[in-house]
Structure 1
Amino acid sequence: MIYWYKSSRIAASRRFPRTDNGNHRKMSFEQLPLPLEPPPASSLRAPSFAEALDLIPTWEDVPATRRRDMASALKGAARIIGQPEATIPCDVPWLNQRLFAKRPAVAGTARARFANIVSLVRATLRRLALHTPPRRGHADLPEAWRAVLEVLPDGPGRSCLRGFARFCAGRGLLPAQVNDEAVADYAAEDSRTRLSASSANRARTVATAWNAAVRAGHPGWPPHELASLRRRETYVLPIEAFPESFREDFELYRQRISRTDETGRRRARFVTRGAGGPKIRLRPRTISTRLFCVRQAGSILVREGLPAEELRSLRDLVEPSDRAGLVLDWIADRHAAKHGLGENAEVKGGQISQVAETLRQVAVHHVRLAGPDLAAVKEFANAVKRRPGDGMSPKVLQRLRRLIQRRPRALLLHLPDELMAEARAERRPVVAARLALWATALEILMFCPLRVGSLLELRLDRNLQRLDPRTGRLTRLVLYPDNVKNKEPLDWPVPPRSAALIDEYISKFRPAVADVDNPYVFPGEDGAGARSYTGLSGRLTRLIADYCEVDVHLHLVRHLAAWRYLKEYPGRYEDVRRLLGHRDIRTTQAFYIAFESEASAVRFDGIILREKQATRTIAAAAWAGRRKARRGGKAPGGTS
């Protein structure tokens, strides 16, 4: 095993020769040989945080205060990651994936402290020659690169392109020779050698800054643009990557599930099964999910070695049925590897269930599959589908238990008021309107635990009702069957305090971010239509993480509502079913029986405690007698 460290005076590889018993014998740093060049990356093994903590006190050229801060930063990073120091390698790619996985507040760390930890960890990695050295300015670059960088205005774009220019100059590339391959190579090198939350998006950032310089027409800047790469590399191929016959069948499937014709016009509202469409109209988000799952299944088959030319239609996804099984196995293996599960771990629900159900519907309704292949596809879908009796997944239950702790729960309950107070103090109208929008969305979820899709569809002219013409105050929140997932209407009273907050948002703040004729309570980013699912859910999730210091997803607010009610009224599952809009009470019981089990455990602990109190005198007398017998030379039980 070889470690690679760097001192301000020397650079050396640290080798631990094995002793006769097979253990490693450590050598002093001064005894190590001095290589002329660092060994290749493939032969390096990064030391652990624990080993780095042992090394830090030996860096006598570093001030004692700095060494103490570096050691404290490593321990703080280990606490944020949630692993012991001995199991965390000083490996930049490994740390990039885990150190920035949580927002600082969720890890219990202030933003300033987190930034300080990252800076000191970088310094430690540089000392170990495992991180790129800090470089400022561009005076050390070749003349060709200095000339083009100097025409850019000072700012983040110029700073980003400066690092890319240094990478290209090291490989002998001139500005006119830069291409997409150079950007990809730089992004790979950057993610391997630089500790940063933005390393995963470096290729996109560089391409965006480069293209902005091209469009600005700066003199001397190369005129060609670069491909704007995705923020996250995906294995799902675009529909254009499949044969023409597959694309035609894909379009027919889209028309069937969306009940439209080739021009995009909606067909009749009432259709029979013979017309080839679903009995009820699917939501746009459901349609896009189904179409994506079809492309996902086809892409996995191509990734696993099936030539794309053999996918002539959607039938080729499910016939033979082994192909559907291969797709689901691949998703299950990927999920297990991502979450550190065993090879035989059971994977249900979520993505694998969506893909399996889509393949089942394609087999049954679109290609009219029959025989053993159809039976196998149905069996696959049943095997990965979460049943009402399965309850919450362990991950969701763990997140909920963190949320119901007293501090984060209190912070969440008062978060709408805090955001609205910030909106009132904000001088910028658009920023203030957005703060008020988030506050209003959270306030509605607090007193009426809607699904996010229903929240997005709320309209001023339809769902917010004001029954008292004298006051004009908002009194009821009404959702019709087409607003609710299970088609059960909802008529909910609005508390006066919540009504005042909502009305303040609508009258004072909403006009700054909404078009005049936009009827939606939460307008889209451009002022038209409704806000997107990702835009609302993602932003609220980040706000809860920053303000309440817990990592949640927005649907968890519904679970919190059930927990709050059952805590106050144990066993009243029918009330919770109505509260959340479940069709079947078995779903409610399966999801929230864990709350009853926890309450039973607390009650049982109380019984044990009371019994211990009642029998304390008897036990004390018995133990005193046994101690007296031991002092008299008698063994317990009366024998000598």
Structure 2
Amino acid sequence: MYVDQYSIIKKPMTLGDVVTRLEAKTDLSTTKRRDLVSAVRTAARLLHRSPEDLPASVEDLRNRLADIHPVQASISLKRLANVKSGLVAAIEMTVTTCRIRKRQRPRSPAWATLVQSTPQKWQAYTLSRFSHFCSSQGIEPTDVSDDVLVRFEEHLSKEVLTKKPEKIVKITRQTWNGLAERVHPELPALTKPPSRRVLTRDLSTYPASFQADIEAWIARLETVDFLEDDGPAKALRPTSLRNVRACLRQFADALVKSGVKPDELLGLSDLVDPETVKRGLRYLRERDGGNRPSHHTIMAQLIAVARYHVRVSGDIEKVLKSIQAKVSVAYDGMTDKNRNRLGQFRDERNIDLLLDLPRHLVSKAGKVKDAGRNQALMVMHAVAIDILLACPMRIGNLSSLSIDQHLTWRGEGREQRVAIAIPGSEVKNRQPITIDLSVETSKLLDRYIHSWRPKLEGSSGNALFTQTNGNARTPSRFGQDISRTIKRETGIVMNAHLFRHLAALLFLDKHPGEYETVRRLLGHKNLNTTTKFYAPFETWRATERYETEVLQVRRAVK
């Protein structure tokens, strides 16, 4: 007899099934049943799906819900937490394959003593979840092992809707090992897993002749010799020199990892042989899963070395350029990543959230009694964001602003304004940056300098955005801090460089086609660069105008 195999395949449970089972349960009070069903339906609504389309899996739903931000979802943080908690409870009650989570047991005496003995509150907070898990499993502090941490991660992954279980485990391990090393030597240390970062070999592991050749090339790039016919027209900045060194180091490392012995690399000439170049690029492409922009950058450096330092023949240079063309990643204007992130601002509510963020941060910091370093940092980020909104400069210029060198106060009283002037020699494209900040932004900046900046260590120096040692904040770290602040407060995902694109978007929205103004605002040397990057914005607005002016008329006729 024929049996339809598809009819006997058990379909995975969905949240729709969870709702159906909840409504059929007779051992729940009316209020409890209503709250759990509401949590399931609300979670589905936040994901813009129906309950029948979503799997009844905590592990799957965690990834889907991880990007839900309360501000973007127009929901309070507490309500979102309650929805997630109710969703997990609903799944546990209705999915037979899900282990029922026991009510959180009190810590065992040994765990309670350990947590209470931590020198810092954050250490107690970090170990809280782990201590309860171990207590529920009958595991005492002296019995903790790598296997226990693995089980803890499995518990977080399959039964809890917490974000990034692997990060919680990492912090738990670090906190535990710190206590074991400095406070409780009787505790067993946990094994630190190997780093996932791609680490390159240090240049000191190569022959001295190879190291000397790299330094000779760097020296050629950092000085201008007017007697040298094909020498550089201008000296490279320190950041550019670091990038050159990094490219050469990365490629040498790729060759070693592909099987070349380090002592076989005696000079830069060994890097630019066409067959050697192909070998290194094959390794990089296999490691990175295809071509990456960094591969093209490495090839550009190798070609420069081949032409001006090794002085290869014209035929070999042509071969190298041919290889470079095959690994290039063409971008016709803006990258997809930046274009997608700018899409957030098609929602005017996100524009309002970002524009109001500096004031929101200052207000939030001012409400804290006995405000200290954390609140001062919050105001620092508010000032940085306000400056980027007014003048979308690169993060390197923003982080290195000096009170004495770059800021000037003009006017008096309520109309006093701050002017920012950065010479072209400090800007990537050599175009000077000059702007008079608005009165409102000037007041915020002045308030930060006089009332909040003194709460930070290192404030005696001239750096506007100071580190504890008094130096200016590093561009990469400062940029990350700004991005995290924006994401935490608004749910908007953006980096400091996106402010430049956003400025163009907002201006062209009000003044279509005025690319010359955008070119001047962003300091582009070539108008074609501006047009190539920002012409697609006109398509966005054209579509919206068509929707408003044409389709609305058609609907009105109906």
* TM-score bracket relative to the smaller structure: 0.7 to 0.9
Matched letter for residue 507 of structure 1: H
CA contact (8 A) 2:458 2:470 kept: yes
Tell whether 2:235 aligns with 1:280: yes
User: Partners of 1:600 and 1:535 in 2: how far apart?
Assistant: 38
Q: Secondary structure of 2:434's partner? A: strand
Q: 2:178 is matched with which residue?
A: 212
User: 1:554 aligned to 492, 496, 513, which one?
Assistant: 496
Asked whether the 8 Å contact 1:235–1:299 carries over to 2, the reply is no
Moved more, 82-91 or 446-455: 82-91
Distance of 1:257 and 1:207 partners within structure 2: 44
**1:592 and 2:534 equivalent?**
yes
SS in 2 for 1:492: strand
Alpha-carbon distance between aligned partners in 1 of 2:244 and 2:101, rounded to the nearest angstrom: 45
Amino acid of the structure 2 residue aligned with 1:587: T
- The aligned residue for residue 429 of structure 1 is 372
CA contact (8 A) 2:362 2:379 kept: yes
Q: 1:541 aligns with which of 483, 499, 508?
A: 483
Consecutive unaligned residues in structure 2, runs of 5 or more:
118-123
Match of 2:302 among 339, 343, 362: 362
Q: Which moved more, 1:89-98 or 1:314-323?
A: 314-323
CA deviation vs aligned residue, 1:584-632 (integer Å, no higher than 9, x gap): 211111111122233444555676479879x97xxx9xxxxxxxxxxxx
2:83 counterpart SS class:
helix
Q: Following the alignment from structure 2 to structure 1, what is the Cα–Cα distance between the partners of residues 218 and 44?
A: 49
Aligned pair partner of 1:506 in 438, 443, 449: 449
Secondary structure (helix, strand or coil) at the match of 2:7 reads coil
Cα 1:602–1:385 shift into 2, 3 Å: closer
Which secondary structure state, in structure 1, belongs to the residue aligned with residue 421 of structure 2?
strand
Q: How does 1:104-253 map to 2 (within 5 A)?
A: 104-127=70-93, 128=95, 129-130=97-98, 133-134=101-102, 136-137=104-105, 147=110, 150-153=113-116, 155-163=124-132, 165=134, 178=144, 180=146, 183=149, 186-187=152-153, 190-218=156-184, 222=186, 225-227=189-191, 234=196, 236-237=198-199, 239=201, 244-245=205-206
State the alpha-carbon separation in 2 of the partners of residues 292 and 179 from structure 1: 41
Gaps of at least 5 residues in structure 1 are 1-17, 28-44, 261-266, 334-346, 621-640
* Counterpart position of 2:17: 51
The residue identity in structure 1 corresponding to 2:169 is A
**One-letter code aligned to 1:67:** R
Per-residue CA distance 1:106-138 (angstroms, 9 max, x = gap): 344321122112212221343334357245346
Partner of 1:30: none
Residue 74 of structure 1, CA deviation: 2.9
Secondary structure at the residue paired with 2:116?
coil
When residues 470 and 206 of structure 1 are mapped into structure 2, their CA distance, relative to the original with a 3 A threshold, is closer
Distance 1:113 1:19 in 2: 52
The equivalent residue for 1:15 is none
- AA partner of residue 245 (structure 1): Y
Is 1:449 the counterpart of 2:392 in the alignment? Answer: yes
Give the Cα–Cα distance (whole angstroms) in 2 for the partners of residues 138 and 518 of structure 1. Answer: 50
CA contact (8 A) 1:256 1:277 kept: no
CA distance in 1: counterparts of 2:247 and 2:151, whole angstroms: 29
Larger helix fraction of residues: 2
Q: Is residue 235–residue 300 contact of structure 1 (8 Å, CA) maintained in 2?
A: no
The answer to whether the Cα contact below 8 Å between 1:160 and 1:206 also exists between their aligned partners in 2 is no
Structure 1 197/599 Cα, relative in aligned 2: closer, same or farther at 3 Å?
closer
Distance 1:300 1:99 in 2: 42
Deviation at 1:269, TM superposition (A): 4.5
Q: What is the CA-CA distance between 1:422 and the residue it aligns to? A: 2.8
Pick closer, same or farther for the CA change 1:359–1:135 going to 2, 3 Å. farther
> 2:57 aligned with 1:97, yes or no?
no
Offset at residue 89 of structure 1 (A): 2.8
1:486 to 2:429 alignment: yes
Deviation at 1:461, TM superposition (A): 1.0
Following TM superposition, by how much is the alpha carbon of 1:325 offset from its aligned partner in structure 2, in angstroms? Answer: 4.0
Q: Distance in 2 between matches of 1:363 and 1:103?
A: 46
Q: Secondary structure at the match of 1:491?
A: strand
What's the CA shift for 1:441? 1.0
Per the alignment, do residues 555 and 223 of structure 1 end up closer, same or farther by CA in structure 2, a change over 3 Å counting?
same
Matched, 1:384 2:326: no
Question: Structure 1 vs Structure 2: percent identity of aligned residues?
Answer: 21
1:565, 1:69 → 2: CA distance? 46
Give the whole-Å Cα distance in 1 for the aligned partners of 2:532 and 2:247: 30
1:276–1:365 CA contact under 8 A, matched in 2:
no
Structure with max Cα Rg: 1
Amino acid corresponding to residue 329 of structure 2 in structure 1: V
Confirm or deny: 8 A CA contact 1:419 1:439 kept in the other structure.
yes
CA distance in 1, matches of 2:55, 2:240: 41
Cα offset for 1:478? Answer: 0.5
Aligned pair partner of 2:506 in 556, 564, 572: 564
The partner residue of 2:362 within 420, 423, 438 is 420
The C-alpha deviation readout for 1:27-55, integer Å capped at 9, x for no partner, is: 9xxxxxxxxxxxxxxxxx96333333333
Residues 294, 355 of structure 1: 8 Å contact kept: no
What amino acid is aligned across from residue 384 of structure 1 in structure 2? V
* CA–CA distance in structure 2, aligned partners of residues 280 and 19 of structure 1: 80
Greater mean deviation of Cα atoms: 424-433 or 362-371: 362-371
Residue identity matched to 2:284: V
Corresponding residue pairs, total: 537
Letter in 2 for 1:579: L
Offset of residue 153 of structure 1:
0.7
State the TM-score, normalized to the length of structure 1: 0.71
Q: Aligned Cα RMSD in Å?
A: 4.3
- Which deviates more, 155-164 or 425-434? 155-164
For residues 515-551 of structure 1, give each alpha carbon's deviation from its aligned partner in whole angstroms, at most 9, with x where no partner exists: 2432111112x25212233443333333333444433
SS at match of 1:466: strand
Letter matched to residue 328 of structure 1: R
Superposed CA offset, 1:258-303 (max 9, x none)? 659xxxxxx965468899999533454883697389549957995x
Partner Cα separation in structure 2 for residue 430 and residue 254 of structure 1:
43
Match of 1:331 in 2: 288
Task: Tell me, in whole angstroms, the C-alpha distance in 1 between the residues paired with 2:23 and 2:244.
Answer: 55
Alpha-carbon distance in structure 2 between the residues aligned to 1:536 and 1:215? 31
1:259–1:277: 8 Å Cα contact kept in structure 2? no
CA drift at 1:236: 1.2
2:3 is matched with 20
Q: In 2, Cα distance between the equivalents of 1:50 and 1:250?
A: 65
Residue 374 (structure 2) pairs with residue 374 (structure 1): no
Structure 1 residues 500 and 92, CA gap change in structure 2 (3 angstroms): same
Could you tell me whether the CA contact under 8 Å between 1:416 and 1:443 is conserved in 2?
yes
Amino acid of the residue matched to residue 109 of structure 1? I
Q: What whole-Å deviation, never above 9, does each CA across 1:216-267 have from its counterpart, x for those lacking one?
A: 534xx5255445558xx62513536x99338x7886687568659xxxxxx9
CA contact (8 A) 1:271 1:279 kept: no
1:518-529 alignment to 2 at 5 Å?
Answer: 518-524=461-467, 526=468, 528-529=470-471
1:610–1:421 CA distance, 2 compared to 1 (3 A): closer
Matched to 2:455, the amino acid is: A
Q: Which amino acid aligns with 1:552?
A: M
Structure 1 residues 377 and 439: alpha-carbon distance in aligned structure 2, compared to 1, 3 A threshold: same
Cα shift readout 1:74-103 (whole Å, capped 9, x = no counterpart) = 333334445554453333443333321343
In structure 1, the residue matched to 2:26 is: 60
Is the Cα–Cα contact under 8 Å of residues 334 and 533 in structure 2 kept in the other structure? yes
**Cα distance 1:199–1:610, how it changes in 2: closer, same or farther (>3 A)?**
closer
Paired position in structure 1 for 2:120:
none
